[in-house]
Amino acid sequence: MAQLPAITFKKTAPQKSGTVIVQAVDDKTLAEAGLALDEASDGQLTRAMKAAGFKAKSGAAIEVLAPQGTGLDRVIVAAVGDDGDLAAWLALGGKLAARIKHGQMVAIFPEVAPGGGSPDASSLAALAEGLLLRAYAFDKYKTRVDDDDTGRKKAARIAIMADNPAAARRAFSARRPVVDGTILARNLVNEPANTLGPEEFAAEAKALTALGAKVTVLTERQMAAKKMDALLAVGRGSERESRLAVIEWAGGKKKEPPVCFVGKGVVFDTGGVSLKPPAGMEDMKGDMGGAAAVIGLMHALAGRKAKVNAVGILGLVENMPDGRAQRPGDIVTSMSGQTIEVINTDAEGRLVLCDALWYAQKTFRPKCVIDLATLTGAIMVALGSENAGLFSNDDELAAQLLAASEATGEGVWRMPLGKAYDKMIDSKFADMKNTGGRWGGAVTAAQFLQRFIEDGVPWAHLDIAGTAMGSPKTAISQGWASGFGVRLLDRLVADNYEG
């Protein structure tokens, strides 16, 4: 795949060729590096700003090609905006990355923070984070790319000027694992199902042992011994065996209960016997977006040596319609002992999650549990692709997630739970059925999951069907898979659960 830019932080970098990016302080005024280039080019930069009607709002930029007297290929004039918070610097990085081509030498001069003074180390780290996230492209299976002699696209080399390069490097080193975790999640969601089955996904989890995590993978035989028959029923129609991957990161105090994250990992969802329509079914390779977010998060926590005990659990299955597949009307028994009437085999993700959630609580006694799943199309009807649906039995946990959402820009919107919805999944023949019908589908799915949460355990469910794949393009995400959830949950942990 195309290589990400190589980013360094420097005190000074006299730039005599390539591309230089300078900062506009306001609609007409350049910061110091820009003023020097403007003088060398006999006012070409300020004339370009005036001619373009430049406004120094967040992410605004204009290009001047081969300005006279500089020897440079391009000068880009950019602005961070009036507020200049970390989100603005992140977005600026993304918008600048869109203007940087592979193999280019680039120097960036972010000299002035809104309100005065120089940008701090965190701001420069956010700028670099935005550059990397926007530069990501999944071209692994493209045979025609602009190659260098190694057969890979050359990486751009970007130097960011900083008053204190060492502090900027330290700040970015703390953020780089989060970038890498987001990109890992994107890669997994983008990967085709013929190369990423449950076993291959579990192997990706195993790779986190290199970062110091403990990883255990349960086979179908081991899950059967634990009576995880709801999860196993989903994968019965596939030639590929199901797996449960458990990732443990022990960065907190010894014996302190962990924060637990559970991800739906349906590597491909045909709908089973309740077959989906053919149109758009290819997108169901992304039905493991929840598990991808959890593995990406665990990569981030382990990579930055987070001071927290955390567990990530991935329920990995494939939902296929062969002669052994479960049928509508079947009744399965979950690990909790509760029975489930299968009304629709395409409502399979909740069957995977219910056993994974029960396993998480019984095995780890977590201080809280959060699950992520591309669970329902109904959440997209309600919220589109701008926000994930947030359901929770705990107001404090919900508030923490909403705050992390505000800080990272990964949108969530709290949705209701209630006894009236719960009645919609009561069954004539079992303890519950796996779908409550057409109306309130995202809510009844959450009500189903809540039946597998023990009393007193704070729990949140994130329905990410609209945000994990095919989501709207942003300054830092231009591909099909967004990696949604990694940055959100890393911020949740950093703000609330690290010692």
Domain finish residue from 137, 163, 189: 163
What DSSP state is assigned to residue 428?
Answer: S
Encoded tokens for 15 = 């730039």
What is d(CA 299, CA 316) in angstroms, rounded to the nearest whole number?
A: 18
Q: What angle do CA 461, 463, 464 make, to 5 degrees?
A: 130
What is d(CA 64, CA 294) in angstroms, rounded to the nearest whole number?
A: 43
Encoded tokens for 269 = 């969802």
Give the contacts of 489 (CB within 8 A, at least 6 positions apart): 261, 293, 297, 370, 404
Same domain, residue pair 260 and 142: no
**The pLDDT value given to residue 144:** 78
Same domain, residue pair 23 and 158: yes
Same domain, residue pair 216 and 140: no
Q: Which of 107, 84, 112, 82 is nearest to 96 (CA)?
A: 107
pLDDT in tens, 19-36: 999 999 999 999 999 999
Q: How confident is the model at residue 223 (pLDDT cuts 50, 70, 90)?
A: very high
**The pLDDT value given to residue 152:** 56
CATH code at position 155:
3.40.220.10
Encoded tokens for 141 = 């299976």
Q: Is 169 inside a domain boundary?
A: no
Q: Is 476 inside a domain boundary?
A: yes
Same domain, residue pair 334 and 401: yes
Same domain, residue pair 214 and 328: yes
Contact indicator for 303, 181 with CB cutoff of 8 Å: yes
Same domain, residue pair 13 and 69: yes
Same domain, residue pair 186 and 156: no
Backbone angles phi, psi at 311, to 5 degrees: -130, 135
Q: Is the pTM of this model over 0.95?
A: yes
**The pLDDT value given to residue 403:** 98
Q: Is 270 inside a domain boundary?
A: yes
Least confident of 14-18, 162-166, 393-397, 418-422: 14-18
On the question of pLDDT at 182 being above 60, the answer is yes
Contact indicator for 74, 63 with CB cutoff of 8 Å: yes
pLDDT in tens, 430-457: 999 999 999 999 999 999 999 999 999 9
pLDDT in tens, 50-88: 999 999 999 999 999 999 999 999 999 999 998 889 999
Q: Is 55 inside a domain boundary?
A: yes
Query: Into how many domains does the chain fold?
Result: 2
Encoded tokens for 360 = 């998480």
Contact indicator for 243, 352 with CB cutoff of 8 Å: no
pLDDT in tens, 140-173: 999 876 655 444 568 999 999 999 999 999 999 9
Q: Which of 178, 159, 179, 154 is nearest to 169 (CA)?
A: 159
* DSSP 3-state of 34: helix
* Region of 362 on the Ramachandran plot (φ > 0 left; ψ -120 to 50 alpha; else beta): alpha
On the question of pLDDT at 43 being above 50, the answer is yes
Domain finish residue from 163, 186, 212: 163
User: pLDDT over 90 for what percent of the chain?
Assistant: 93
- For residue 152, what are the CA distances in angstroms to 143, 443, 488? 10, 46, 31
Same domain, residue pair 132 and 203: no
Q: Is 1 inside a domain boundary?
A: no
On the question of pLDDT at 404 being above 90, the answer is yes
Same domain, residue pair 23 and 138: yes
Query: What is the radius of gyration, based on Cα positions, of the chain?
Result: 25
Beta bridge mates, 341: 331, 433
What is d(CA 164, CA 121) in angstroms, rounded to the nearest whole number?
A: 8
Same domain, residue pair 24 and 155: yes
* Positions marked active-site: 276, 350
CATH code at position 338:
3.40.630.10
Q: Which of 228, 331, 234, 230 is nearest to 274 (CA)?
A: 234
Q: Is 331 inside a domain boundary?
A: yes
Same domain, residue pair 117 and 204: no
* Region of 267 on the Ramachandran plot (φ > 0 left; ψ -120 to 50 alpha; else beta): alpha
Domain finish residue from 163, 193, 214: 163
Same domain, residue pair 438 and 474: yes
Burial of 94 (0-12, 13-18, 19+ CB in 10 A): buried
Q: How many CA atoms within 13 Å lie on the side-chain side of 490?
A: 30
Domain encompassing residue 147: 6-163
Mean pLDDT of 274-299: 98
Q: Is 15 inside a domain boundary?
A: yes
Q: Is 150 inside a domain boundary?
A: yes
Contact indicator for 162, 104 with CB cutoff of 8 Å: no
Can you point out the beta strands (E) in 115-179?
A: 157-161
